[in-house]
């Protein structure tokens, strides 16, 4: 047997004992504290009196309060083992947050369009765990795998291009972090969805992520941007745009060839966010195919709550004690 709220139980028990002592102290008929026979007088006061009905009523009331204390403590007994089946996919969204994602060739901007599509995907998930890795010149696990979709949407809403101070775009290392985010647990389907314009400026070779095949992880790439390209607005500065080291305006274009080479590593899907057609429906279809291929089972252990029993005893005893009191008054 385990008491879930032991602090509450101890506090109530102390108050209960102090109330009894205070009651005895205020009594003039029995001088409980002024002689050596404290123990004898204490119990005499509790259980001996001229009126047996009052004595019995007080016993019932004390027992009722004690039962209530146990109920408040949240009694739990044993361990209940429940088989749980989870049919779903573990998904990592790997999101490019480099400055080029602020380009507005995809309205309202590349990064905001990605966030919109991600939210639509989350709205259609059932039983899937999702996590988020963000990257530019460096990367980090922004949201560990979770099935809390409401929290996930809050994390998605907070994504922007100021999250990482290091400039550039290092896609290989971002994919490596995404793979590590899955951990070693379970045999369920694992998928990475990479959202990027493909403007990679790292010196890391794509050969570094060939281990995806060995880990049986699906890597799907979603290109963001247009072939025509767009200037990159500077945050907080109206009509100001990013310039290169020579002082010339930077025109950011989607690098479709590079993105396709990433998808080809593991025969993944290559999709593209355009001005008119959303990709969320296509991504949901890919996820649903993964769900159909695997059902994973595990066991969930929990204690069985028993607080209702002392609560019922407490209510019954207190009702009986009040009925006895009412009978005496009549």
pLDDT digits (tens, 9 = 90+) for 185-205: 667 789 999 999 998 766 666
Q: How confident is the model at residue 300 (pLDDT cuts 50, 70, 90)?
A: very low
Q: pLDDT value at position 28? A: 46
Q: pLDDT value at position 65? A: 72
Residue range 88-294 in CATH 3.40.50.970: no
Count CA atoms closer than 13 A to 166's CA, side-chain side. Answer: 13
From residue 313, alpha-carbon distances to 61, 64, 69, 317 in Å are 11, 7, 11, 6
Q: What b-and-e string marks burial along 219-247, b requiring 16 or more CB atoms within 10 Å of the CB? A: bbbbbbbbeebbbbbeeeeeeeebeeeee
Residue 82 has pLDDT above 60, yes or no: no
Question: DSSP secondary structure string, 268-319?
Answer: --EEEE-SS--SHHHHHHHHHHHHHT--EEEEEEEEEE-THHHHHHHHHHHH
Domain ranges of the chain: 2-78+305-329, 88-294
Angle at 13 between CA 28 and CA 26, to 5 degrees: 10
Structure tokens belonging to residue 298? 């595990």
Q: Which helix (H) or strand (E) segment is 168 a member of?
A: none
State the alpha helices, DSSP H only, in 26-144.
Answer: 38-47, 52-73, 110-123
From residue 86, alpha-carbon distances to 147, 250, 291 in Å are 11, 47, 10
State the alpha helices, DSSP H only, in the chain.
Answer: 6-25, 38-47, 52-73, 110-123, 149-157, 171-181, 211-214, 256-264, 280-292, 308-329
**How far is residue 184's CA from residue 186's CA, in Å, rounded to a whole number?**
7
Residue 22 has pLDDT above 60, yes or no: no
Residue 222 has pLDDT above 60, yes or no: yes
**How far is residue 284's CA from residue 222's CA, in Å, rounded to a whole number?**
13
pLDDT digits (tens, 9 = 90+) for 105-156: 998 999 999 999 999 999 999 889 999 999 999 999 999 999 999 999 999 9
Q: How confident is the model at residue 48 (pLDDT cuts 50, 70, 90)?
A: very low
Residue 265 has pLDDT above 90, yes or no: no
């Amino acid at each position: 047997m385990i008491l879930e709220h032991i602090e509450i139980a101890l506090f109530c028990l102390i108050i209960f004992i102090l109330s009894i002592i205070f009651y005895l102290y205020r009594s003039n008929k029995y001088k409980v504290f002024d002689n050596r026979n404290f123990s004898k007088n204490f119990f005499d006061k509790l259980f001996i009196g001229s009126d047996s009905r009052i004595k019995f009523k007080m016993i019932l009331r004390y027992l009722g309060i004690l039962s209530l204390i146990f109920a408040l403590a949240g009694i739990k007994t044993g361990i209940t083992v429940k088989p749980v089946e989870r049919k779903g996919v573990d998904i990592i969204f790997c999101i490019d947050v480099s400055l080029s994602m602020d380009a507005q060739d995809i309205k309202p901007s590349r990064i905001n369009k990605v966030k919109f599509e991600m939210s639509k995907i989350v709205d259609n998930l059932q039983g899937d765990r999702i996590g988020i890795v963000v990257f530019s010149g460096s990367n980090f696990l922004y949201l560990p795998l979770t099935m809390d979709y409401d929290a996930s949407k809050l994390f998605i809403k907070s994504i922007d291009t100021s999250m990482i101070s290091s400039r550039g775009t290092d896609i290989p290392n971002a994919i490596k972090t995404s793979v590590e985010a899955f951990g070693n647990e379970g045999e369920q389907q694992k998928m990475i969805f990479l959202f990027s314009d493909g403007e990679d400026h790292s010196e890391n070779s794509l050969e570094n992520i060939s281990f995806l095949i060995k880990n049986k992880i699906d890597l799907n790439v979603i290109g963001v941007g247009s072939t025509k390209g767009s200037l990159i607005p500077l945050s907080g500065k109206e009509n100001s745009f990013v310039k290169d080291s020579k002082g010339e305006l930077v025109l950011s274009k989607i690098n479709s060839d590079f993105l396709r080479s990433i998808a080809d590593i593991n025969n993944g899907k290559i999709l593209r966010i355009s001005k008119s057609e959303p990709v969320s429906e296509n991504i949901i279809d890919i996820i649903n195919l993964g769900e159909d291929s695997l059902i994973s089972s595990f066991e969930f252990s929990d204690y069985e709550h028993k607080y209702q029993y002392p609560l019922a005893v407490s209510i019954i005893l207190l009702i009986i004690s009040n009925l006895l009191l009412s009978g005496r008054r009549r």
